[in-house]
Chains A and B, each alone.
Chain A
Amino acid sequence: DTAVSQTPKYLVTQMGNDKSIKCEQNLGHDTMYWYKQDSKKFLKIMFSYNNKELIINETVPNRFSPKSPDKAHLNLHINSLELGDSAVYFCASSRRDEDGYTFGSGTRLTVV
């Protein structure tokens, strides 16, 4: 039973394409997140949703659009992909601040 699952695990695509990454959690958590990990392993929050409502929207290009159809899912759609979008994208979920996050295994996006 995977708690936070992301698909696909690897994604190689050309510049200018549009792609989506899906995330699902079966933990009953209220809050879900997207983080970007760059080539130097630095983790930066992109978005956070609580019960399907956007609560954190860091400074990311508007080519990135999160969508939460229900509180168990948070998908990330990226338009007009650029070389600089290459990174590992992690989905995570949490129930309470003090619990910390449960992370998915990541999606390695490579834009060529």
Chain B
Amino acid sequence: AQSVTQLDSQVPVFEEAPVELRCNYSSSVSVYLFWYVQYPNQGLQLLLKYLSGSTLVKGINGFEAEFNKSQTSFHLRKPSVHISDTAEYFCAVSPTARQLTFGSGTQLTVLP
């Protein structure tokens, strides 16, 4: 079985500041790692994913994430946030069986 922990339930940050949303996971097998974003009253949209290879992955809207196997982490970062980045962000893991397990989400609020 696998589990995902998002360490911060809420992250307020000022516009144009950098942000890091933290995600740790546990699994007894190799997993794929994902970050999704959910804007208010909308479904989830894939931001980026790590499958293998380079540990730094780049996604849409200027986001990137780094896979750290020794720390079992997959933190999401953006060097300069915009008001429009305000949303709920979910980290998720998937083993080879087709089942995404989600973290509890982090509400990113970008302040003017």
List residues of A whose CB falls within 8 A of some B CB.
Answer: 4, 31, 40-43, 45, 48, 50, 55-56, 90, 92, 94, 97-98, 100-106
Give A103 to B92 CA distance when docked, in angstroms: 14
Contact in complex: B99, A48 (CB < 8 Å):
yes
Q: Which residues of A contact B25 (CB under 8 A)?
A: none
B43 adjacent to A45 (CB under 8 Å): no
Q: Told that A43-B44, A50-B98 touch, could you supply 8 new A-B pairs with CB distance under 8 A? A: A41-B88, A41-B105, A56-B98, A56-B99, A90-B44, A97-B96, A98-B32, A100-B36
Q: Which residue of chain B has the shortest Cβ distance to A9 in the bound complex? A: B41
Across the two chains, which residue of chain A brings its CB closest to B92?
A: A100
State whether A90 touches B104 (Cβ < 8 A). Answer: no
Contacts of B45 in A (CB 8 A): 103
Is there contact, CB below 8 Å, between B34 and A106? no
Please give the number of chain B residues whose Cβ is less than 8 angstroms from any Cβ of chain A in the complex.
27
Main secondary structure of the interface of A (DSSP, over half): strand
Question: Contacting A55 at CB < 8 Å: which of B32, B42, B98?
Answer: B98
Given A41-B88, A43-B90: A106 in contact with B98 (beta carbons within 8 A): no
Taking the closest CB of chain B, its distance from the CB of A6, in whole angstroms, is 8
Contact with A along B27-50 (1 / 0, CB 8 A): 000001010101001111110010
Q: Give the docked Cα–Cα distance between A45 and B32 (Å).
A: 17
Q: Are A100 and B49 in contact (CB under 8 A)?
A: yes
Write the nearest CB–CB distance from B46 to chain A, whole angstroms: 5
What distance in Å separates the Cβ of B67 from its nearest Cβ neighbour in chain A? 14
**CB–CB B94/A97 < 8 A:** yes
Kindly list chain B residues whose C-beta atoms are within 8 Å of the C-beta of A55. 98
B13 in the interface (beta carbon within 8 A): no
Instruction: List chain B residues, Cβ under 8 A from A56.
Output: 98-99
* Residue pair A105, B49 in contact (C-beta under 8 Å): no
| Cβ contact of B98, chosen from A40, A42, A97, cutoff 8 A | A97
Is B102 interfacial (CB-CB < 8 Å)? yes
Task: Indicate whether A106 sits within 8 Å of B94 (C-beta atoms), given known contacts A97-B32, A100-B49.
Answer: no
